Amino acid sequence: MNNEGITYVLNIKRSFIVLALTVIVSLFAASSAGAHFSSSGYSDIQVGSTTMTYHLSLLEHDLLQIFPDKADGGDKISDKQLAGSLAAIGKLVDDGIIVTGDGKVGTGVIVGAKHEKRASMDMIGIDIRYTFASPVKRYLIQYNFFWYSGVDPNHSNYATIQVGGQTIEQVLGSQNYIVQIQGPGAAAGNPDNAVKPIQPAAMPAGDPSSNPAVSWQNTLQTYILMGMKHIWSGLDHMLFLFGLLLAAEQRVWKIVKLITAFTVGHCITLVLSSLEIAYLSPKIVEPLIALSILYIAVENIWKRKESARVVVTMLFGLVHGFGFAEVLRGTLSGHMALPLFSFNLGVEIGQLVVVGILIPLLLLIRRIPLKINWNLYASGIVGVFGLYWLVERILTQ
């Protein structure tokens, strides 16, 4: 065999080894990464001078993890169980929510608990009433569900607080779970300071109101960060973006067209789904997102017409928008414009950061003098992830 033949054989062996390693690594990584939904809850709080009514909505699936009695129907809590477990639910609420009025701890009375639908999701709604002997100038709410017990450290609660004739949106999480609320009289005099999130580590021993005032700027910052974290924590969204960059072959105009098509698509359904105008079940959305990853990888390998690629990218953008919107569904009662705009802005910022990091890396890789088609192998890795997730998500529905 001559030198050219030997080189050809070595290249085939090298390519086979690289391909085998990429498939093994991809399968291992894909098996450890699933859908990007975490548990969530909703709080509708009405603040009075001597009373606070608190409607807590938790996903039935989440509540099952801490429910005092074993469910009759496997993954369901029956109406009979709810009616007979109000005392036990009250103990869960006492551990999960602490409400104080002017420093005095209030006792929550469970008024009722029932099944409900919120954002097309099966939830358990718990009505709680707190009563105080005299008018309260300052309420303090500490929300400890799920992360305090270690069940789910990523649990989020979306609170809509009505006080002094105004509505305030607040997101509660493991790093931001204490909220100060002024009583109706005090809030009317200083509406911008009606609700303040308080960092536990920085809580003053005496007067919590010495913390900086937080109004619409906090909502803007909270939802922007939420949008950024959402796209960064969604490996499937990131891989789809990576596939688009491979499809564009690092050419600026192609990148602009494909990213724009994807952005227009997901912005449309993000808005429509968040406002509950349109809805597509996660049981459909999750497999479709996996299919979009597989499709873009196959398209990169077989290279179809660019015009068709732009249209398909926008269509898959519509699908990804439903995935983005799941975190907001049911949260935008009242003042919805700012949270929706802020979350969408966060998604776009997060997306641009990903693109800004990946493009230089891809350009650097192309300069490595190895006789293998990096675009082909990278698309193969993306395709393995997409295929694995597609099969997994179909089988687990």
Residues 203-222: tens digit of each pLDDT: 444 433 333 334 566 677 77
Assess whether pLDDT exceeds 90 at residue 129: yes
Assess whether pLDDT exceeds 70 at residue 147: no
Which among 151, 178, 208 is the end of a domain? Answer: 208
Assess whether pLDDT exceeds 60 at residue 188: no
Judgement on whether residues 186 and 278 belong to the same structural domain of the protein: no
Predicted local confidence at residue 214, as pLDDT: 44
The highest-confidence range among 67-71, 80-84, 246-250, 264-268, by mean pLDDT, is: 264-268
Weakest-pLDDT range from 8-22, 230-244, 281-295 = 8-22
Residues 280-301: tens digit of each pLDDT: 877 888 899 999 999 988 888 8
Judgement on whether residues 386 and 297 belong to the same structural domain of the protein: yes
Residues 373-384: tens digit of each pLDDT: 777 888 888 888
227 lies in some domain? yes
Q: Is the four-CA dihedral 103, 109, 112, 115 of positive or negative sign? A: positive
Judgement on whether residues 142 and 235 belong to the same structural domain of the protein: no
Separation between Cα atoms, residue 257 and residue 262, nearest integer Å: 9
Secondary structure class of 109 (helix, strand, coil): strand
Find out whether 109 and 268 touch, Cβ atoms under 8 Å: no
13 lies in some domain? yes
Mean pLDDT, all residues of the chain: 76
Judgement on whether residues 94 and 204 belong to the same structural domain of the protein: yes
* Residues of the chain above pLDDT 90, percent: 11
Which among 176, 208, 240 is the end of a domain? Answer: 208
C-alpha 12: how far from chain center: 43
Predicted local confidence at residue 251, as pLDDT: 78
Find out whether 250 and 363 touch, Cβ atoms under 8 Å: yes
Assess whether pLDDT exceeds 60 at residue 30: no
Predicted local confidence at residue 31, as pLDDT: 46
216 lies in some domain? no
Judgement on whether residues 77 and 175 belong to the same structural domain of the protein: yes
Which among 208, 232, 262 is the end of a domain? Answer: 208
Judgement on whether residues 157 and 265 belong to the same structural domain of the protein: no
Judgement on whether residues 149 and 241 belong to the same structural domain of the protein: no
Cα angle, residue 217 at apex, residues 167 and 267 outer, rounded to 5°: 85
Give residue 10's pLDDT band: very low, low, confident or very high (50, 70, 90). very low
Predicted local confidence at residue 376, as pLDDT: 80
213 lies in some domain? no
115 lies in some domain? yes
214 lies in some domain? no
Judgement on whether residues 52 and 194 belong to the same structural domain of the protein: yes
Judgement on whether residues 341 and 367 belong to the same structural domain of the protein: yes
Q: Is the four-CA dihedral 209, 337, 324, 301 of positive or negative sign? A: negative
Predicted local confidence at residue 157, as pLDDT: 86
Judgement on whether residues 234 and 168 belong to the same structural domain of the protein: no
**Run of H or E residues at 259:** helix 252-274
Give the count of domains, the chain. 2
Per-residue three-class SS string for 331-395 = CCCCCCHHHHHHHHHHHHHHHHHHHHHHHHHHHHHHCCCCCCCHHHHHHHHHHHHHHHHHHHHHH
217 lies in some domain? no
Judgement on whether residues 23 and 69 belong to the same structural domain of the protein: no
C-alpha 236: how far from chain center: 13
Predicted local confidence at residue 126, as pLDDT: 92
Domain assignment of residue 312, given as a range: 3-32+223-396
Predicted local confidence at residue 53, as pLDDT: 93
Strand 108-118 relative to strand 121-131, pairing: antiparallel
Mean pLDDT confidence for 297-315:
80
Predicted local confidence at residue 191, as pLDDT: 52
**Predicted model pTM:** 0.62
Predicted local confidence at residue 127, as pLDDT: 94
Separation between Cα atoms, residue 246 and residue 242, nearest integer Å: 6
Secondary structure class of 63 (helix, strand, coil): helix
Predicted local confidence at residue 235, as pLDDT: 83
218 lies in some domain? no
Q: How many CB atoms are closer than 10 A to CB 66?
A: 15
Assess whether pLDDT exceeds 80 at residue 243: yes
Judgement on whether residues 315 and 257 belong to the same structural domain of the protein: yes
